[in-house]
Amino acid sequence: MSEKDCWVGFDLGGTKMLAVVYDEKFKQLGRKRRRTKGHEGVKAGLDRIIETIELALEEAEVAPDRVRGIGVGCPGPLDLDAGVILEAPNLGWENAPLKKTLEKHFGCIAAIANDVDVGVYGEYRFGAGKKARCVVGVFPGTGIGGGCVYQGNIFRGRMTSCMEVGFMKVMADGPRAGLGPPGTLEAVASRLAISAQCAQAAFRGQAPNLRKAAGTDLSNIRSGILAAAIEAGDKEVERIVRDAAGYIGYAVGSLVNVLAPDVVVLGGGLVEALPELYVTAVRKKALQTALPSYHKTFEIVPAKLGDDTSVLGAAAWVEHVCEEDIKSI
């Protein structure tokens, strides 16, 4: 049998899935990206994941028996120990036995974790939070995800992931994000919330460059378009983004008071498109919220790994799980 010297990272997103094969030093050997198919059923979905991994292995010219472990980053409620996706509404899945399915098919260890958690773990291993004692990650997108790596381990609950930063309450009252009480971080600071406010500004004539580029349909208002509108001079768009980033800052300051991280990593498309503006606005409000004794103990930085944050982090996480298993013997 061939030596087991490769890792596979898998990112199961809302609209896409990505499998990447790495060697033992996490050099990329092959990859395959495919779109997900909503509501195709659990069995068909799991078969599609297996097929995507096999295609990535084929591109990498790596035989399946060389794979030592497969790490998967997943959205939705998870049973982490059993490796079951309890619910994935965007895919129409319930109780999908992902860990068991992968281990049976490929004959190796599989580790399942929240997609933001493995993204933060990737930044801890290879990116902006490398080797820090405690790394907190906040990733604003359509929603707002959060994660924490504490002393080399993903911070989690007994059975499930935690760090649901998007549902921290930052206003006494306010809009709702669909779930949770009014005034949550996700309701006022997600890209969806920002796009909705900017669409209104464009409709009112306060954002002419944005209106020219994207109209008033919020589904057309993406991170890059917002950045271009600000650069072109739409001051109202800039104000909306700064205010949203400020709410992120309030939440970050509260997290600093609780967890005392060395590094807070900000990720996602909006941060990538507007790193200086966004990080500066977050830092300003975080310092207003964090205790003065913490002001010089942490830094706030943009993520470094880009789109591969979660898939690389997932591969590195399953390596960590394997090493911990060996230590426990």
* pLDDT (average), residues 63-79: 94
pLDDT reported for residue 2: 58
Q: Return the number of other C-beta atoms located less than 10 Å from residue 217's C-beta.
A: 10
Q: Residue 282 pLDDT > 90, yes or no? A: yes
Task: Determine the average pLDDT of the residues in 18-36.
Answer: 95
DSSP codes, 105-131: HHSSEEEEEEHHHHHHHHHHHHSTTTT
List domains and CATH numbers for the chain.
6-115+308-328 (3.30.420.40), 128-304 (3.30.420.40)
Strand, helix or coil at 140?
A: strand
Q: How confident is the model at residue 40 (pLDDT cuts 50, 70, 90)?
A: confident
Strand order in the sheet with 16-23: 28-35, 16-23, 6-12, 67-74, 109-114
- The arithmetic mean of pLDDT across residues 156-178, rounded, is 89
Instruction: State the Cα–Cα distance between residues 236 and 198, nearest whole angstrom.
Output: 8
Mean pLDDT (whole number) for 11-19? 88
158 phi, psi to nearest 5 deg: -60, -45
In degrees and rounded to multiples of 5, residue 14 shows phi and psi of -70, -35
Mapping DSSP onto H, E and C, the string for 152-203 reads CEECCCCCCCCCCHHHCECCCCCCCCCCCCCCEHHHHHCHHHHHHHHHHHHH
Asked if 302 and 266 count as a contact pair (C-beta separation under 8 A), the reply is yes
Q: What is the pTM of this model?
A: 0.94
Which single residue is written with the structure tokens 């706030």?
300
Average of pLDDT values for 46-63?
Answer: 97
Residues 234-272: tens digit of each pLDDT: 999 999 999 999 999 999 999 999 999 999 999 999 999
Show the tokens assigned to 305.
């790994």
Three-state secondary-structure class, residue 86: strand
Question: Residue 329 is encoded by which pair of tokens?
Answer: 């013997």
**Could you read off the pLDDT of 90-146 as tens digits, one per residue?**
788 899 999 999 999 999 999 999 999 999 999 999 999 998 999 999 999 888 999
Residue 216 has a pLDDT of 93
**Looking at residue 328, what is its pLDDT?**
63
* CA distances to 83, 84, 311 from 114, in Å: 11, 11, 11
Name every residue whose Cβ is closer than 8 Å to that of residue 76 and which is 6 or more positions away in sequence.
85, 86, 87, 88, 89, 93
Pairing of strands 84-88, 93-96: antiparallel
Segment holding 79, helix H or strand E: strand 78-79
Q: Which residue has the tokens 């426990």?
A: 328
The helix (run of H) or strand (run of E) holding residue 33 is strand 28-35
The mean predicted confidence, pLDDT, of the chain is: 93
Is the model's pLDDT at 1 over the cut of 60? no
- Distance (Å, rounded) from C-alpha 254 to C-alpha 294? 11
As a whole number, mean pLDDT of residues 293-314 equals 95
One-letter identity of residue 54: E
Region 26-39 average pLDDT? 90
Is pLDDT of 149 > 90?
yes
**Bridge pairing between strands 6-12 and 16-23:** antiparallel
